[in-house]
Amino acid sequence: MTASDSEGRLGEEFFTPGSASFTEFLAAHRPELLPTRRPFPDGVRAAPDRFPHGTTVLALTYRDGVMIAGDRRATMGNLIAQRDLEKVHPADHHTAVAFAGSVGLALDMVKLYQVELVHFEKVEGIPMTLGAKANRLAGMIRQNLGQAMQGLAVVPLLAGYDPAAPEGRRGRIFSFDVAGGLYEKRDFHADGSGSPYARGALKKLFRPGMDRRESALAALQALYDAADDDSATGGPDISRRIFPIVSVITEEGFERLPEQETEQLSREMVEQRRSRPDGPNATP
């Protein structure tokens, strides 16, 4: 801390011209606060059963925008580390981010990303475009490459409502690889250990123009299929009343579906599975 900090005044770094990136500001003045610094010496890898990992998240477009959802389980090897983890978070009013991978680093990255978007808007006076938000998150992931190579990877999934996009295509989905590669996905996508099964379910259930209820049921069915084949993914926990998190982003902004609505849809889906364990067939 500088002398001015100890006296309750801002240091000179706060008045030095620079970019509108809060991450770059931290890197220049307080790099030790960045979650992307390496926790281990070179050549050391994290044991896979010593740190909690989040698993399956997904997103799909629907009639009013885009929906993003995630299961609630975190695992450490073959142990369940947490049953009610929240993997879906608003990034700003029209953007949300979900994550798979190392839980502690992912939560820190989400918080930093939220501040990054607010900081940019305060400095520039306008919000970032959705494409710029995706690129900024890709840059943050790229800074985390050293930790990813040590076994502490974070794989976020970004979804947002883009008012500048053509009508009917305003819900947009972006996925990333551990090196910061950015890929825009059409219609739907899933990440995490259960993602192959979730994507397989969405391939048969997704159709353009679905309403909110149809989309939420499709997301819940996909997460159920992921949990059915991937032990690291958690399905609806009826006895504990722990259900997946489902959120939507529309012209009105981000909204997390109320717990009562998610529970009702989850119970309806589980009841359907009693007569059709492998889930519904594709819609003609």
pLDDT in tens, 138-148: 998 888 777 76
Gyration radius from the chain CA atoms: 20
Q: What is the DSSP letter of 257?
A: P
pLDDT digits (tens, 9 = 90+) for 15-43: 555 566 766 665 655 665 566 555 555 55
Angle at 174 between CA 169 and CA 180, to 5 degrees: 155
Structure tokens that stand for 85 in this block: 């983890």
- Asked if 213 contacts 55 with a C-beta cutoff of 8 angstroms, the reply is no
Burial class (CB in 10 A: 0-12, 13-18, 19+), 247: buried
Catalytic residue annotation: 55
> pLDDT in tens for each of the 284 residues of the chain?
444 455 666 566 555 555 667 666 656 556 655 665 555 555 545 555 667 888 899 999 999 999 999 999 999 988 999 999 999 999 999 999 999 988 988 898 899 999 999 988 888 898 999 999 999 999 988 887 777 666 668 889 999 999 999 988 999 999 999 889 999 999 999 999 999 999 999 999 999 999 999 999 999 999 999 999 999 999 999 999 999 999 999 999 999 999 999 999 999 999 999 999 988 887 76
Q: What is the pTM of this model?
A: 0.84
